[in-house]
Amino acid sequence: MSTNGTPGPVFPGTPGRVDWVDYAKGICIVMVVMMHSTLGVEAATGQHGFMHLVVAFAKPFRMPDFFLISGLFLARVIDRDWRTYLDRKVVHFAYFYVLWVAIQFAFKAPSFAAEQGLGHVGYLYLESFIEPFGTLWFIYLLPIFFVVTKATRRIPALMIWSAAAALEMSHLSTGWTVIDEFAARFVYFYSGYLFANYVFALADHARNRPALALLALAIWAVTDAVLVYTGLSEWPVISLVLGFAGACAIITTGTLLARAKWLDGLRYCGEHSITIYLAFFLPMAATRTLLLKTHLITDIGVISLIVTTIGVIGALLIWWSVRNTRFNFLFERPDAFWIAPKKLRPALQPAE
């Protein structure tokens, strides 16, 4: 897409999709799986591996970039009537949240029951509807962002953005995921919506000036690493700046990869990012358990890397295995759960 909002470069063979967006989303979803895989392995072993440094490096921008990209195409659909808007932006994600909470809970309930009794299992399940369960908080929070952005359109954008930025810098910590993550992430989602033209302009510049883009990426990488490993990245203002800088870096990286047509697997992961997000916990947990119990590999970093890889590939395999079967409801919303005409069938992705 060009800076004036008209369609721009689209990856060959994938009609209607912007190539660099899928690359950027692919990078983001791999980093998300990497974080959960690495921290899970380290929690189970009480040790840190080399992947811990990679996860720490990505922390300032991993979710900011995901949310910023999720808001990029909102201007195209925000004027829809509320019924259609809620169907595409709330019911769509709510269906998959409720379904996959039940699936995740079914796998984890036995351990909950063993630890705290059967009575507490029911309490935890009900609590998951007000306190996002496990890895699914992203698709719980995303519909809230969509609704808040549409509902506040009459309020000056600068006022909304300033309040959102102040919330991020407050580092609010109430213990409630929805409140704390809303405060930390909404500014990036709203920025994606508000400054979409500038984001596409950045991608255009990176595509046209790759040498300059690579230099900028090198400077950013060094700066991010220094601030993260010295403990300064969590400071107010710095955290906000690093979030935006990292988002721009991932967008630039995605653009350069799309330009060179390298690492097509990342583009594919980005195209199916929410599919991976929903299902990766199953192969991730199974692989972690297998490797730690068999002791086939002892290096914590290598174990984390393998668990990450299997988490991503395994999620895609689960999706591939149920396509065109009676189990496709796992990744495709059935007709009964639509509240608006299906003129468009949204893919499993954060943004249209």
Is 240 domain-assigned?
yes
Rounded mean pLDDT of 43-60? 96
As a whole number, mean pLDDT of residues 21-27 equals: 97
Q: Is the pLDDT of residue 128 over 80?
A: yes
- In this prediction, residue 278 carries a pLDDT of 96
Domain assignment present for 342: no
In a domain, residue 3? The reply is no
Instruction: Give residue-wise pLDDT tens across range 224-247.
Output: 999 999 999 999 999 999 999 999
Task: Give yes or no for a contact between 146 and 190, defined as CB atoms under 8 angstroms apart.
Answer: no
Lowest mean pLDDT among 15-24, 35-44, 241-250: 15-24
- What is the percent of the chain with per-residue pLDDT over 70, rounded to a whole number? 93
Q: 12 in a domain, yes or no?
A: no
35: domain range? 19-337
Q: Which residues contact 313 (CB under 8 A, 6 or more apart)?
A: 283
Q: Give the mean model confidence (pLDDT) for residues 41-63.
A: 96
CA separation for the pair 347, 349 (Å, rounded): 6
pLDDT at 120: 79
Residue 25: exposure state from Cβ atoms within 10 A (0-12, 13-18, ≥19): buried
- Rounded to the nearest integer, the mean pLDDT of the chain is 91
Q: Is residue 10 part of a domain?
A: no
Closest CA to 188 of 16, 28, 57: 28
Q: Tell me if 345 is assigned to some domain.
A: no
Spatial CB neighbours of 115, under 8 Å, sequence gap ≥ 6: none
Looking at the structure of the chain, the number of domains it has is 1
User: What pLDDT shows up at residue 113?
Assistant: 83
Instruction: Please provide the size of the chain in residues.
Output: 352
Q: Is residue 8 part of a domain?
A: no
Residue 248 carries which side chain, given as an amino acid letter?
C
Is 138 within a domain?
yes
